Amino acid sequence: MGNLSEEDVKNRYITPAIQRVGWKSTDYRMEYPYTDGRITVINNYTKQNSRKKIDYLLNYRENYPLAIIEAKDLKHTYNHGIQQGIGYAEGLKHAKSLEVPFVYATNGRSFLEHDMLTGQERSLAMDEFPTKEAMWQRYKKEKGLSQEELQVVEEPYYSTREANQPRYYQRIAINRTVQAIASGRQRALLVMATGTGKTFTAFQIVYRLLQAGFKKRVLYLADRNILVDQAMTGDFSPLLGKATKVQKGKLDSSYQIHFALYQQLAGRDEDEGHEPFRQFKPDFFDLVVIDEAHRGSAKADSQWRKILNYFDGPNVTHFGMTATPKNEKGVSNIDYFGEPIYTYSLKQGIDDGFLAPYRVIRVNLDVDVTGYRPNKDERDANGELIEDREYTASDFDRTLVIDDRTKQVAHYVSGYLKQNEARLDKTIVFCEDIDHANRMRMAFVNENTDLVSHDPRYIMKITGDDNDGKAQLSNFEDVSSKYPTIAVTSKLLTTGVNVKTCKLIVLDQSINSMTEFKQIIGRGTRIDKAHGKEFFTIIDFKGATRLFADPSFDGEPDKVIEDGGNNVPSQLTYAPRSGDDGDDMGSENKPRNKYYVKNRKVRVLNDQVEYLDASGHLVTTSLRDYTKKNILGQYATLDKFLEAWHTNGNKQKLLDKMEQNGIFYQEIINDEKLTDMDPFDLIVHLAYNQKPLSKSERVIHLKKSGLLDKYQGAAREILETLLTMYQNDGIQELENNQVLSLPEFERYGGPFKIIVNLFGGKKQYQDAVFELKEKIYN
């Protein structure tokens, strides 16, 4: 009995135990995968870790999990897996209150129950596992859920065969928000990294609140047309029959959901007291959704706040969504909304494999390092006398333009794309302002005339002042559209643009705002494996990526800051009113007096590639150094590695597991053309400085050992063929259960005759192969 595997224990004991007390197969999920597995990138190689799985996830309803069961085999005690199960429960919450209230560990003999709400534990016999209803009643009592909360809690998600099911973190965000709103909370904020499905999450929240009858009318506010249109025709499309988009400030009370640009509802300064939003009574909407709430400011005299103040009251909820809640000036939209109900960060999204990791190439231009000072009485290309002072990287393209610097940026990036055969990869180049974007576009065109002559849309400037560029925005987002390929911008593409296949972000912009930096990085974080997008690259010319090292980049949002006891909300980010698109025509792009220098040559001093390690830090490393570090991280000494190697019967499975943990042995073998080197030898040489043997040398040593002399005739020929296959293709061929079905062995009569007639049975054949493997690595 003690030899039963974990799967045997599940099938014989655990599943029957929970089914006996009424849990149906539709009430629980076995081997429930709740992440996609982190993607690691080094050089141009990527590896994806295994998905994290839970043995059993038990649900009251699909949208409300109640318990986790962690199973172990009979070699372990019944309570052995409890800490692992609690870790999974913690992993499913990622925040302050708990969503999976009960955790169980078992080896098929008894259960240990851990109550995540009270912290209490108790042992249960296999026939004492709680029923679904009993567990739900305990949960309701311990959480103290009101009737209003239960009304919304028990409302299911929108679901069809084609509709996506919420990911685990989306489910938590949805459940927390609807429960908070049902309990009477009037301000709610969700913080979710770009690319993690904020709009989909908002749709499920709105859908459940409407279906439960808890909310009647919804106002969805945004400051860019693209955000409104994407929401309406995308995630909110199941509610399209109940929705309308406000056009020209006209409101229609026959619709339940209104999508609107705040610029249109707020009107102009001359509309004071007669703003378009006043067409409805203050209590018309009972739910106001504020998209990109970092720009949807809570400042008392802002245009946003004017609308929020009007549609407010005891039964109205203001619900904000953002990827970037922080503000560098000491005030935050948290002042208005309160602490976020839930936060799902970029780091967590990358760890879970839902977001693409990045690598950074920092490029140093000589003039950026040394600075620029004009000669005495020097004049620029326009005849303007250049002010005599030291100009640094933060001045370039803001107050002083060095023509060759722009050309060198375009030359470096174009060269990178050519060298990496990535010229058709979607790329966004961020410039200081529209003037800089104009010049950068020209520089890129001149570097890529072959592709531009084929289609002028290969490189396009997409800024707020350029209608032709903005007209191509949907094509730039379209994964099936080749053009535009390189988009040069300043502010317009920092947010609200969903380019899933964007593989390169170029920063030639001085960025001091953490909010803006996060939004820009978010343009690359979406994964699209179908089109070859698993990671993205950032080429940084102005040191903006230093902000990755700032603790606030992926830390907790700021607390509410009070000054003299007065909680005064403040404007976070400039929100333009010049047009419906929320374009980049704001203060950052007001015309400046600039000097234009054409006689200064610029060169690249150096570049440095950094990769994101497992802890979320950027590290400078080679493929070999990265692999060595990860080997030593798992096996600190040669003895530790040899112990793992020799006690593991299946060497290839161990190698696969090592690859999952960043040991890129196969990539090194391929890169360095070490085709005759065994991964074992590469690892012991790389990490422990041992002299490596080739596979050919290992085969020669084995043959000299006399091992094959134990076998005669066809049996020996079989083993010699296996050795040849090992020498050509590696250890996986010896461990392949189907190897005897390959053409090389057809003349011996096939697997059955080989095993039975030549080796005397399955065990004898397996013993022969095992001895062969052991002797190879002796």
pLDDT at 469 over 80: yes
pLDDT band, very low/low/confident/very high, at 86 (cuts 50, 70, 90): confident
How many Å separate Cα 71 from the centre of its chain? 29
pLDDT at 559 over 70: no
pLDDT at 30 over 60: yes
* Mean pLDDT for all residues in the chain: 85
Contacts of 142 (CB under 8 A, 6+ apart): 101, 115, 117, 118
Which residue reads 């529209």 in tokens? 434
What pLDDT was estimated at residue 508?
A: 96
Question: What average pLDDT does range 268-296 have in this prediction?
Answer: 81
Which residue reads 């000491």 in tokens? 330
- CA dihedral sign, ordered 683, 684, 690, 691: negative
What pLDDT was estimated at residue 41?
A: 84
Dist CA 196 CA 209 (whole Å): 21
Q: Which of 45-49, 249-253, 401-405 has the lowest mean pLDDT?
A: 45-49
DSSP percent split of the chain into helix, strand, coil, nearest 5: 40, 20, 40
What pLDDT was estimated at residue 666?
A: 85
Q: Of 378, 381, 497, 397, give the one whose Cα is nearest residue 437.
A: 397
pLDDT band, very low/low/confident/very high, at 588 (cuts 50, 70, 90): very low
Residue 123's DSSP bridge partners are: 112
What pLDDT was estimated at residue 90?
A: 66
What pLDDT was estimated at residue 558?
A: 38
pLDDT at 756 over 80: yes
Contacts of 475 (CB under 8 A, 6+ apart): 457, 481, 483, 484
What pLDDT was estimated at residue 332?
A: 63
pLDDT band, very low/low/confident/very high, at 272 (cuts 50, 70, 90): confident
Dist CA 12 CA 20 (whole Å): 12
What pLDDT was estimated at residue 696?
A: 92
What pLDDT was estimated at residue 374?
A: 94
Kindly report the number of other CB atoms within 10 A of residue 643's CB atom. 12
Each residue's pLDDT tens digit, 669-719:
887 888 899 999 999 999 999 999 999 999 999 998 888 888 889 989 989
Question: What average pLDDT does range 536-550 have in this prediction?
Answer: 91
DSSP string, 446-515: HH-HHHHHH-GGGEEE--TT-HHHHHTHHHHH-TT---S-EEEESSGGGSS---TTEEEEEE-S----HH
Take residue 482 and report the two structure tokens written for it: 């080749």
Counting beta carbons within 10 angstroms of the beta carbon of residue 452, is it exposed (0 to 12), middle (13 to 18) or buried (19 or more)?
Answer: middle
Which residue reads 């019967």 in tokens? 649
Take residue 215 and report the two structure tokens written for it: 């909310």
pTM summary value: 0.81
pLDDT at 381 over 50: yes
Which residue reads 């020669």 in tokens? 700
Counting beta carbons within 10 angstroms of the beta carbon of residue 227, is it exposed (0 to 12), middle (13 to 18) or buried (19 or more)?
Answer: buried
pLDDT at 664 over 90: no
How many Å separate Cα 490 from the centre of its chain? 24
Which residue would you say has higher pLDDT here, 515 or 442?
A: 442
713-729 vs 762-776: helix axis angle to the nearest 10? 50
Angle at CA 196, nearest 5°, toward 41 and 579? 115
Kindly report the number of other CB atoms within 10 A of residue 617's CB atom. 11
Q: Of 66, 61, 80, 84, give the one whose Cα is nearest residue 9.
A: 80
Dist CA 140 CA 150 (whole Å): 9
Helix (H, G, I), strand (E, B) or coil at 753: helix
Dist CA 646 CA 556 (whole Å): 45
Question: What average pLDDT does range 453-478 have in this prediction?
Answer: 91
What pLDDT was estimated at residue 294?
A: 65
Each residue's pLDDT tens digit, 145-187:
888 888 888 888 888 766 678 999 999 999 999 989 988 889 9
Which residue would you say has higher pLDDT here, 338 or 688?
A: 688
Dist CA 609 CA 619 (whole Å): 8
Q: Please give the helix or strand (H or E) that residue 752 lies within, else none.
A: helix 751-753
Counting beta carbons within 10 angstroms of the beta carbon of residue 64, is it exposed (0 to 12), middle (13 to 18) or buried (19 or more)?
Answer: middle
Helix (H, G, I), strand (E, B) or coil at 665: helix
pLDDT band, very low/low/confident/very high, at 382 (cuts 50, 70, 90): very high
What pLDDT was estimated at residue 670?
A: 83
What pLDDT was estimated at residue 568?
A: 27
Judge whether 408 and 370 are in contact, CB under 8 Å. no
Dist CA 399 CA 404 (whole Å): 16
